[in-house]
Amino acid sequence: MFRTVFLVALFTTLLIVVLLFALKNGQTVPVDLVVTRLETVPLWVVMIAACAVGSTLATLVFAVVFFSLYFSKRSAEKDLQRTRAELAALTVKAAADKGAVR
């Protein structure tokens, strides 16, 4: 219940902040894209679009790093499991050899 209320409050606060930002930055600016030029784009649209593109690129970079670490961890866990099994087999063999010597 608390989490839902917190998320609703956070979303509402974020929405109010974005609306206030849009009201204060309503002037139009020209945007020069690689293939075209947009003459009348509100500044708040440009800034929010830049933030969204930056967030998306950061998420993609994070995802690549996360999955790389995840697969490395899985590989290390498999190696550890294999090594533990080998150690257990050697321990049993050493105990059997020690018992056969007596």
β-sheet bridge partners, residue 41:
29
Task: For residue range 37-89, list pLDDT tens digits in order.
Answer: 988 889 888 888 998 999 999 999 999 999 999 999 999 999 999 999 999 99
Task: For residue range 13-46, list pLDDT tens digits in order.
Answer: 988 988 888 888 889 899 888 888 988 889 888 8
Rounded to whole angstroms, the Cα distance separating 28 from 46 reads 9
What are the residue boundaries of the structural domains of the chain, listed by start?
Answer: 2-74
Report which of 5, 51, 43 is spatially closest to residue 23, judged by C-alpha positions.
Answer: 43
The predicted model scores a pTM of 0.60
Rounded to whole angstroms, the Cα distance separating 84 from 95 reads 16
